[in-house]
Structure 1
Amino acid sequence: MRLLSLLFLLGLATLSFAVRSQWAQQGRATHEALITIRFALTQQNLDVLERTLLDISDTTSKNYGKWKTAEEVTELVAPAREISERVASFLERQGATKVENFRDMVKVTAPVSWIEETLHTNLFFFQHKTRTSKVIIRADGGYKIPAEIAEHVDFVAGLFEFPSIKNARTQVGAGVDGYIVPYVIFDLYGIPTTFPVHPNSSICLVEFQDDQSYNKDDLKKFAKENEITETVVSHTVGPYSGSSADTESTLDVQYGGAIALNTTVWFWTVEDWMYDFATDFLNTKNPPLVVSMSWGWPEPEQCQVGNCTGDETSLEYVVRTNVEFQKIGAIGTTLLAASGDQGAPGDSDPECNSKKKPLSSIFPGASPWVLSVGATMLSNMTTEDADPSAEPPICKSWTCSTSTTELVCTIPQALITTGGGFSDYSLQPSYQNAAVAAYFKSGVPLPPQTDFNASNRGFPDVSALGHNYLIALSGDFEQVDGTSASTPVFAAIIAHLNSYRLNNGKPPLAFAVPLIYQAFASDPTIFNDITTGDNKCTEDCCSKFGYEATKGWDPVTGVGTPVFSKLLAFVQTLP
């Protein structure tokens, strides 16, 4: 997943809503400066939405694949039209610069002076202490929703988020047994390099917290050295700057694009966080069919004490954003999210010394409404002889891996440890009940029962390689690790499965998590079972707490990594 920091640790991009130590307050924001905030309106019929999504995503249901329109799902959950109009009209009368009514969310762009007066808050400029060019406007203190609309508003997003910027970790010319390039991934998982891509199949690489840089010259170099078609990003949403490429965006675009072959590629940048992205996505015409999000942060820390005020809490933020994820799944899009790069202790306990919470969750990676992706690595043992004539030019300069044995991706052998565990907030969905029950009956050693909730959603669902990737960055090649690598790769595989269905006149897979477990139940060999390793280590320490890989699903690598031909064969049986 993404870790935004100046030390590269390519994994998970992480952020913190409350940690302000990286930011210096620079004084009151100028009154005329414009910012955008979102009023989340109270929704209805949420039980109907969940029931409907689980039905149309169940491969055994007569309604399988009957995805809804964005208008249908919004109409289902939005408050009465007169309520959203009342809220929007009030904000317009108060003098907001721009008011957009999306029925269950009202988006407002207004000057600082208006927001301070309307919400009874104070806004300040904050400058990042190391990336001094990064300046944001945030509130310091509480806010109050006007009494005229308070009963209809759950919370206001966009006032208190403080990103904790850390970069993905990389190494240049590291001494490893073999590197991962697209050629290795195609060969390991049996993905045909001539797969017939449908013109409407699409993949979207999403970057958060104003991370917006990949370089097109690097894409050319990557394609040339790997003897693949150069990835062309045909849709860009949000700011883009290729002048100073960063590791996260570069990895996503190079590997998501390469493994997806000629699939239509979107690049989407979001200044803020998940709720903001989800609500904008739902109001985009003809959105992409597959979304890869290599970002996350512990569920209970989405909004910490000191920055969330009034009624807004981390639980509320997660619950509300999960509703938006359900809506996205219902309209025909597959969401994938990384499971984390700090093992089971996670970013809640990176130094392995917490007695209160030694195990961590992740959001959105622990959401029941995304396909959660963990990471594996190849053993150092060469298990087959490579055909030099088949290798791309990059393998002449960098030794490409020829191993076919996958293990849990873990420190110290790797730069990261794959995340996994159980959600703090979300109940275990029915689609994974059998797989998780089998894990608990397997006899594998478990952490203390008081440290995790066995009745909640287990993650990840699946995995893919996440160690020793080579990316072209600023004219050279660097090694990167993380679930930031495995997530776009699995997203590309979903895009290929969508191409098959679209080529045969069928709808896309959309909310594909139940499908994964139904495929696993029908034939476990559809996935390579990862049974060696654990996720007890963070980048700083190894804990006595964590989970061990075992036969079948586990909260380390999920059901395993894909055998593409078998997964495709299962999809070919679906209506």
Structure 2
Amino acid sequence: MKLTWFGLGVLACTSPFVAAAPSSRAPKVKHSIREPYGWTKHSVPSPNHRIELRIGLAQPNIDVLEKHLLEISDPDHHRYGQHLTKEEVEALVAPHDESLELVDEWLASHGIQEEDFTRSPAQDWVIVDVPLSLAETMLDTTYNVWQHTDGDYLVRTTSYSLPEHLHEHVDLVQPTTIFARWKGMRSTIFWPDNEIEETSIASAKQLAGTDVDPACNVSITIDCIRQLYNLEGYTPQVPESNSIGITGYLEQFANIEDLQSFYNDQLPEAVGTSFEFVSVKGGLNDQNLSNAGVEANLDVQFAFGLTFPTPGTFWSTAGRPPFKPDLGSTENTNEPYNDWLDFVLAQPELPSVISTSYGESEQTVPEDYARRACAGFMQLGARGVSLTFSSGDGGVGDGDDDPETTTCITNDGRNITRFMPLFPSSCPYVTSVGGTNNVPEIAVFFSGGGFSDLYFPRPAYQDAVVSEYLANLPQGTYEGLFNPNGRAAPDVAAQGRRFRIWVSGQPISIGGTSASSPTFAAVVALLNDARIAEGLPPLGFLNPLLYSKGLDAFNDITIGNNPGCGTQGFNSTVGWDPVTGLGTPDFQKLKDVVLQY
């Protein structure tokens, strides 16, 4: 008997694997890390603890896929907008037959036959559910229960090995050395009755004679976003041919009753409508009003409200926050993020834009894992999907603590202070969204931003604007605290504070770049609507277009900074900056741009 998970899940035998002689080829360390900062060994897990091993086979043609992506995303290239099909993308990421054969042989040497595991559609991932004792034998390692200073627990190791002949055929095996927690962006909640700042009152006075309601300095609504970003007067023309998606993790449930309250409050014409719910690996749809998720409600209410009546999809991906190591805990993978990526890559049809408000400090994500996940985003971009990610709520820090006091200590053994970029925001194939507040807009203090420190060099599409920003920095500014040659973030920005949403039957005011990403994604969905109405394909990967043709279609944000790591962070300035990127969108100007290509 086998248990089949929903979608691209695990096919796990309920009976023990047949014992077999292990491979005679000597193991060699594939990956190792130092003991991660903030984590300590807590205990020894049960040998019967279940773990879902994900084996990433080498993708020999990934550079070819990147070439395709950059050509079809370049508005000056004759292939612009000619997105690839699911099958074409899968052919480009497929491993060599030799890799498949050798990995199958290795699994068989540990008693794991083909009926015991599943493969991704491109066969570049093998997924198998095993007891921890077998995983330790396969990987020549020892797992421990690790405890974070915040109280979270994970079952991980700091080193694993594979037979040497497999190293060129296998990119990674996880969960092993990944200590990321994939938490939602830390939301900064402000209650309107007692947290209205003097700056917002002063800003409201400046609005006299403008088209923006002064109340938008106290509470951000659908109407405020429409006024701020020049969306007024635009009605979706072909909603039936367009769509927008929101990801949900860590048991964040989007409540339909709250959505109706939000619509009744801000968008009466949408009352009675909802969204498509999709479960990933058993993700739940808990509609108990008291269990409504703040993050999930924020995302769906504004993303779907701004784009109404464009169809919306909400994915609920199973996976609790890190488990508690008690006797009842026998399963713990805690990588729901990658489960979602596997699932959507297997789907023939996808929304044209997807927003995500989850991530982790880049240094907690092993390089091989980060690169494989980023390659997954590349695949989605090549298929015509625009991906937006919150840039984080820790300024130049990692968002774990108050931006004013975040220590930002490296986990490479040096234990030095270093700015902490957020992943996946640091992936060059996604659009990173920072935050603003007030009207006129300034950078919100918690807007995540900076430079990829470890893995991703600055992409060519950023060279001109980022080089200009760095050239204007006073010499020696934060020298040694960041990598000036890394992929820079954010790319753009949107309002990120005082959003009026409904949670558990009550209106609240909430902030965070968790609000900024779905807001910008909604603007992109409306741009796609305008393109589709003219017979053009959706935008797909956005950044090459935004950094070349879209520079004058943004509201430049020149005031504010993003403190963190014991510093004042970077400053907003004329042009691109690592606080608000290119600025906030002007829909009508962007629409004029995107309809030209």
TM-score scaled by length of structure 2: 0.77
1:463 to 453, 478, 493: 493
Deviations 1:471-496 (A, max 9, x none): 11111111111100000010111111
Distance (whole Å) between structure 2 residues aligned to residue 520 and residue 347 of structure 1: 30
2:74 matched to which residue of 1?
58
User: Match for 1:291: what amino acid?
Assistant: I
User: Match for 2:583: what amino acid?
Assistant: G
User: Match for 2:263: what amino acid?
Assistant: A
User: Match for 1:179: what amino acid?
Assistant: S
Deviations 1:255-294 (A, max 9, x none): 1111121222121234325444333322222122211111
Alignment pair present for 1:337 and 2:389: yes
Distance (whole Å) between structure 2 residues aligned to residue 22 and residue 495 of structure 1: 44
Contact kept, 8 Å, 2:258 with 2:503, in 1: the verdict is: yes
1:550 matched to which residue of 2?
573
Distance (whole Å) between structure 2 residues aligned to residue 110 and residue 345 of structure 1: 37
Residue 548 (structure 1) shift: 0.8
Deviations 1:235-257 (A, max 9, x none): 41321223312211111111111
Local SS of the residue matching 1:449: coil
Alignment pair present for 1:95 and 2:118: no
Residue 142 (structure 1) shift: 4.4
2:274 to 226, 232, 240: 232
2:353 to 290, 295, 311: 290
Q: Per the alignment, do residues 360 and 185 of structure 1 end up closer, same or farther by CA in structure 2, a change over 3 Å counting?
A: same
Matched residue pairs, number?
Answer: 503
Alignment pair present for 1:242 and 2:261: no
Residue 112 (structure 1) shift: 4.6
TM-score scaled by length of structure 1: 0.79
1:320 to 372, 390, 394: 372
Contact kept, 8 Å, 1:19 with 1:164, in 2: the verdict is: no
Alignment pair present for 1:409 and 2:444: yes
Alignment pair present for 1:268 and 2:315: yes
Contact kept, 8 Å, 1:179 with 1:470, in 2: the verdict is: yes
Deviations 1:548-574 (A, max 9, x none): 111111111011101111101111111
Mean Cα deviation higher: 352-361 or 506-515: 352-361
Distance (whole Å) between structure 2 residues aligned to residue 42 and residue 443 of structure 1: 40
Deviations 1:87-145 (A, max 9, x none): 246536723633225322112234555434434455678899999xx9x8734564443
1:207 matched to which residue of 2?
248
Distance (whole Å) between structure 2 residues aligned to residue 237 and residue 512 of structure 1: 27
Q: Per the alignment, do residues 187 and 197 of structure 1 end up closer, same or farther by CA in structure 2, a change over 3 Å counting?
A: farther
Distance (whole Å) between structure 2 residues aligned to residue 435 and residue 502 of structure 1: 30
Local SS of the residue matching 1:185: helix
5+ residue gaps, structure 2, are 1-34, 197-216, 320-334, 410-415
Distance (whole Å) between structure 2 residues aligned to residue 374 and residue 293 of structure 1: 13
Local SS of the residue matching 2:425: coil
Distance (whole Å) between structure 1 residues aligned to residue 495 and residue 174 of structure 2: 35
- Relative CO higher for 1 or 2, CA cutoff 8 Å, sep ≥ 6? 1
Residue 516 (structure 1) shift: 0.9
Local SS of the residue matching 2:581: coil
Superposed CA RMSD in Å reads: 3.1
Matches within 5 A, 1:93-492: 94-95=111-112, 97-101=116-120, 102-112=122-132, 114-121=134-141, 138-140=155-157, 142-145=159-162, 149-159=166-176, 161=178, 163=181, 168-175=187-194, 176=196, 178-191=218-231, 192=233, 194-208=235-249, 210-228=250-268, 229-230=270-271, 232-238=274-280, 239-240=283-284, 241-243=286-288, 244-270=291-317, 271=319, 272=335, 274-302=337-365, 314-347=366-399, 351-353=405-407, 356-378=416-438, 404-410=439-445, 417-424=446-453, 425-442=455-472, 447-492=477-522
Q: Per the alignment, do residues 29 and 213 of structure 1 end up closer, same or farther by CA in structure 2, a change over 3 Å counting?
A: farther
Distance (whole Å) between structure 2 residues aligned to residue 127 and residue 428 of structure 1: 34
Distance (whole Å) between structure 2 residues aligned to residue 194 and residue 289 of structure 1: 18
5+ residue gaps, structure 1, are 1-16, 303-313, 379-403, 411-416
1:42 matched to which residue of 2?
58
Contact kept, 8 Å, 2:159 with 2:177, in 1: the verdict is: no
Contact kept, 8 Å, 1:329 with 1:335, in 2: the verdict is: yes
Q: Per the alignment, do residues 503 and 529 of structure 1 end up closer, same or farther by CA in structure 2, a change over 3 Å counting?
A: same
User: Match for 2:243: what amino acid?
Assistant: S
Contact kept, 8 Å, 2:159 with 2:176, in 1: the verdict is: no
Distance (whole Å) between structure 1 residues aligned to residue 350 and residue 88 of structure 2: 15
Percentage of identical aligned residues: 33
Q: Per the alignment, do residues 531 and 169 of structure 1 end up closer, same or farther by CA in structure 2, a change over 3 Å counting?
A: closer
Distance (whole Å) between structure 2 residues aligned to residue 164 and residue 498 of structure 1: 29
Contact kept, 8 Å, 2:38 with 2:148, in 1: the verdict is: no
User: Match for 1:30: what amino acid?
Assistant: N
